[in-house]
């Protein structure tokens, strides 16, 4: 293995609650019910696709023009970005910093494949930008997760063949993206959900990300 490619939201830090608050306020203003169940379904899904799912859920798909929808996503993002200010290095999930150090010591390349256009800003707030050899701009890929595009783009930018990459994700869409990109997939979450999505290795908590265990599982699988 030559590279590890990370998702951001839900893998490196917990931004799901902040996305929830911003979407909830927007949905309330549109008189659409929004709850944690729907928020869960938006994990890994890009901003406009997320809005379309919310409008669809509220039966209001046809009520807004494309221009109005862009304004709505901007409204949500302005609120989300204001909430991001509460992030600091303390917001990094347990074990992630140590894991990044180990990857570096093992001379592995490190990439970011997040659907979030706020990815670079979040890495800055967490003070871990320097660990990343590449960050994919989600605008540069044709299809969002679950399509493989963003993980393939990360591998291309790192100049590593996808079969030599490990992807780490917390969303079902993200695991599908990694697997269709032909990579080894680590799922952060529950065994049942992550295995059903196709994860090769499941960890329930980021503090359990141990390189030795990962590489043993990879070797066992490919032997
Ligand atoms: C993903 C999140 O990482 O990024 C989604 O899981 C979010 O919930 C998506 O919608 C896009 O994020 P942003 O910051 O560009 O609106
Ligand atoms: Mg995620």
189 CA to centre of own chain: 13
Q: 222: pLDDT confidence band, cut at 50, 70 and 90? A: confident
Check whether the bond before 182 is cis (ω within 30° of 0): no
Same domain for 9 and 24, yes or no, is: no
Sign of the dihedral defined by the CA atoms of residues 100, 170, 211, 183, in that order: negative
CA-proximal residue: ligand 1, atom 4 (nearest): 116
Query: Based on the structure, what is the number of domains in the chain?
Result: 2
CATH code, domain with 169: 3.40.50.1000
Tell me the catalytic residues: 7, 9
* pLDDT tens-place string over residues 20-73: 999 999 999 999 999 999 999 999 999 999 999 999 999 999 999 999 999 999
pLDDT grade, residue 223 (50/70/90)? confident
102 and 194: one domain?
A: yes
| Domain edge (last residue) among 84, 109, 132 | 84
Ligand 1 pocket test target in 6, 17, 38, 44 with most atoms within 8 Å of CB: 44
Residue nearest to atom 16 of ligand 1 (CA): 47
In this structure, the answer to whether residues 161 and 111 fall within a common structural domain is: yes
Do 87 and 52 form a contact (C-beta atoms < 8 A)? no
Q: Does the C-beta of 9 come closer than 6 Å to ligand 1?
A: yes
For residues 168, 79, 34, 94, the Cα torsion angle rounded to the nearest 10 degrees is 30
pLDDT digits (tens, 9 = 90+) for 160-184: 999 999 999 999 999 999 999 999 9
State if residue 46 touches ligand 1 by the CB under 6 angstroms criterion. yes
Closest residue to atom 11 of ligand 1, CA basis: 116
Residues 79-93: tens digit of each pLDDT: 999 999 999 999 999
Phi, psi of 208 (to 5 degrees): -95, 15
Does the reported pTM lie above 0.90?
yes
């Amino acid at each position: 293995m030559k590279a590890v490619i990370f998702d951001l939201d839900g893998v490196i830090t917990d931004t799901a609650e902040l996305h929830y608050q911003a979407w909830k306020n927007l949905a309330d203003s549109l008189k659409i019910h929004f709850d944690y169940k729907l928020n869960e379904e938006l994990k890994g899904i890009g901003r406009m696709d997320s809005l379309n799912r919310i409008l669809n859920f509220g039966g209001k798909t046809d009520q807004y023009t494309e221009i109005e929808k862009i304004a709505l996503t901007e409204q949500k993002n302005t609120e989300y970005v204001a909430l991001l200010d509460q992030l600091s290095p303390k917001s990094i999930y347990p074990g992630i910093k140590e894991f990044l150090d180990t990857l570096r010591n093992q001379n592995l390349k490190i990439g970011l494949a997040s659907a979030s256009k706020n990815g670079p800003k979040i890495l800055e707030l967490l003070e871990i930008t320097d660990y990343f050899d590449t960050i994919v701009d989600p605008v540069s890929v044709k299809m969002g997760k679950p399509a493989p595009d963003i993980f393939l783009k990360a591998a291309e930018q790192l100049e590593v063949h996808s079969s030599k990459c490990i992807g780490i994700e917390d969303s079902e869409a993200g695991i599908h993206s990694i697997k269709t990109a032909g990579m080894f997939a680590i799922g952060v979450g529950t065994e049942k959900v992550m295995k059903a999505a196709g994860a090769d290795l499941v960890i329930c908590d980021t503090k359990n990300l141990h390189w030795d265990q990962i590489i043993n599982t990879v070797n066992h699988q490919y032997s």
